[in-house]
Structure 1
Amino acid sequence: MKYGICPISIAPLRSETSDSSEMVSQVLYGETFKIIDTRKKWSRIRLSHDKYEGWIDNKQITEIESEQYHSILKGHKQFSRDLIGHITHNDMTLSTVTIGAQTSSCTFLNDQYSLNQPETISYDKSNLIENALLFLNAPYLWGGRTPLGIDCSGFTQLIYRMNGFDLLRDASQQATQGEVLSFIEESEPGDLAFFDNNEGAITHVGLIMSDNYIIHAHGKVRIDRLDQSGIFNVEKKVHTHKLRVIKKIL
């Protein structure tokens, strides 16, 4: 088995071995993975934190030894909390990284992180909404996981990951985690609300806020009203998503 780590700010994870293939997710700086298949220009990887699979350009991989891989997994994790931060490489050149980059991996890449905000994980549920608000107005991007472009489940996953809990990647997968709540009134800020389409498939997720508001990625990261029917768009004055289930994760 081969192992790798992402040495660049953001690497697209694709469904097929082509630059024009659908981007199913993104790999952020410092995130680790198993390399489960290798082609001439591409490798199929399985991410450590959510077991999500896809193809990544070989030029965007740094291979690491098994001992390093497992050391990173067992070690204390730290994440960038600046929307945009900077990594200094051995040759003194700089790279930008986004919020959520796994900066505790710097040692294994011989890099240094310019720390402006505290990186430590607090495991405090109250921080979820505070972190989520940093993404307000970030544009929607299918497969995205950064404030430069993010999808609904990438948004919830990244917020939870920064606070010590690894959600699965897709909304339908995240809906299998946690404890079901019967009513919105039972929920707390930071709980997750899931929404389905006309066929009953879960296709959307958002973070519940206080006073029946929800923050979610739909066109952009935005705040709307939440009721027993679903999400009520405060600008268009219509319901845009049909509520399926509410889950308490932490």
Structure 2
Amino acid sequence: MNKNDSKDKNKKISIKHRPVAREDIFSDKDKEPQVSKNLYLTPKKKKLPPWLLPLIIIAVLLLGVFVLLPSLLTDSNDENPSATEQPQATEPVIPLAGVGDRAVLKRSSALVFTRADKTSPHITELLLNESVLITDTAQKDWLGVELEDGLSGYVERSALTADTSSLSLDDDVVMKLVIRDPFKRVMSHARGGTLLLEAPMGTILYADYHNSGLVRVKLPEGKLGWMNTQGVFLLNVNEDLPVPDDFQKSFIFTAIAFENAAYIPGGQTRNGISTAGVVRLSALLNGLELPRTAGQLMEVGEKVEFPKTSAQPAIKFLRPGDLVFFHEKADDQSLDLMALCLTEERLLLSLNNKATIQIIDFDSVTAEELSERIMVARRLNESSQ
């Protein structure tokens, strides 16, 4: 055994005890044990922003100026009306149209119906500033009218005015205008402004001022409007458009521009037109005044005679500018449609099953079928009225 081992055995092992907490002899046993209390923070009081009070003061002042003060002034003025009484601008008094009176169209255009009913057939169409004679005022929303060429029908009452001052040739009228563009914009001011209306092709207006490519025109109900002179014929007050030397060529050239225009029975504007309307407007812009309807056009010009023994279809004998009229398939006494001969090979017409003005060839199936239904053909000249 090792000496060191014997020494270790002789050593005593001492156990150290952990000190035990002793009861505090100085504490008062009768007292309740102290419990920690929660800590409460008092919330900070909110203050109004410094800019709010001045804003409230300004709002109160504005309320007084714009609300309270005017009411006080009104009360005081009621006691003395003459202190604030101002002359009021009055609208021009427009007379009511009666039977036998003349009226003027104040819209761009208006259809003329056979009866006082929009579902009835169209006879024709009036253009801005056209004059009519009143024949019937018994209908609430309609007026019976007679046109310058003797046609009669019904027009919406709201489209007409009894103020015919726009047709008056007073000393202030400086020129006559005929619109040759499809539509001409009429503005409220010389350099822009708002659009008052659009004057369709063929409209006749009178101007009381002309300068630097601008004219001021007289409109129905005493109104005035402005337009530039592009697309407008400028004439002396009592002057008519001259007939060009080569009337037929110019007449046909004008009519061709209506190809694919929307078709409306009796229509007289580019928004919707009939073959008779194309013929009338094309002639008007070339100095020749013609009737409005196909039935009336059957009586103008010279009758075209067709060879009775020719093997060729009658349509082959038409000349440029001729008007040709076709009867219905089942009734050779009833007019079905009309056409304008453009060249020795082509016709311009509005077919009943088409929505636009068409140009067809003489050799087409349609033209050959129509050739069998010719009622009459008329040849226009410079004296055709």
2-structure distance, mates of 1:84, 1:68: 19
Point out where structure 2 has 5 or more consecutive residues left out of the alignment.
1-99, 208-216, 235-240, 307-314
Question: Is the Cα contact below 8 Å between 2:182 and 2:270 reproduced in 1?
Answer: yes
Counterpart position of 1:122: 242
Deviation at 1:87, TM superposition (A): 1.7
Change (3 A) 1:13 1:246: same
Counterpart position of 1:214: 347
Q: Which has the larger radius of gyration?
A: 2
| SS of structure 2 residue aligned to 1:239 | helix
- Normalised to the residue count of structure 2, the TM-score between the two structures is 0.55
Q: Is residue 123 of structure 2 the alignment partner of residue 35 of structure 1?
A: no
Q: Is residue 141 of structure 2 the alignment partner of residue 11 of structure 1?
A: no
Change (3 A) 1:2 1:237: closer
Q: Deviations over 1:207-234 (max 9, x none)?
A: 21222312122222121124xxxxx547
Question: Is the Cα contact below 8 Å between 2:106 and 2:219 reproduced in 1?
Answer: no
Deviation at 1:134, TM superposition (A): 1.6
1-structure distance, mates of 2:188, 2:137: 27
Give the letter for the 2:295 counterpart: S
Give the letter for the 1:196 counterpart: H
Counterpart position of 2:160: 61
Question: Is the Cα contact below 8 Å between 1:30 and 1:104 reproduced in 2?
Answer: no
Give the letter for the 2:277 counterpart: G
Question: Is the Cα contact below 8 Å between 1:17 and 1:55 reproduced in 2?
Answer: yes
Q: Is residue 145 of structure 2 the alignment partner of residue 45 of structure 1?
A: yes
Give the letter for the 1:35 counterpart: I
2-structure distance, mates of 1:134, 1:61: 30
Q: What is the RMSD of the two structures over their aligned residues, measured on CA atoms?
A: 3.1
Aligned equivalent of 1:96, options 185, 188, 198 = 198
Higher normalized strand content (fraction of residues)? 1
Q: Is residue 295 of structure 2 the alignment partner of residue 172 of structure 1?
A: yes
1-structure distance, mates of 2:270, 2:284: 15
Counterpart position of 1:196: 327
2-structure distance, mates of 1:169, 1:95: 24
Seq. identity, %: 22
Question: Is the Cα contact below 8 Å between 2:323 and 2:340 reproduced in 1?
Answer: yes
Change (3 A) 1:22 1:192: closer
Aligned equivalent of 2:361, options 225, 237, 241 = 225
Deviation at 1:194, TM superposition (A): 1.6
Greater Cα offset, 202-211 or 101-110: 101-110
| SS of structure 1 residue aligned to 2:326 | strand
Give the letter for the 1:5 counterpart: V
Counterpart position of 1:239: 369
| SS of structure 1 residue aligned to 2:179 | coil
Q: Pick 1 or 2: higher relative contact order, CA cutoff 8 A, min separation 6.
A: 1
2-structure distance, mates of 1:103, 1:217: 30
Deviation at 1:196, TM superposition (A): 1.5
Counterpart position of 1:229: none
1-structure distance, mates of 2:198, 2:377: 36
2-structure distance, mates of 1:157, 1:237: 23
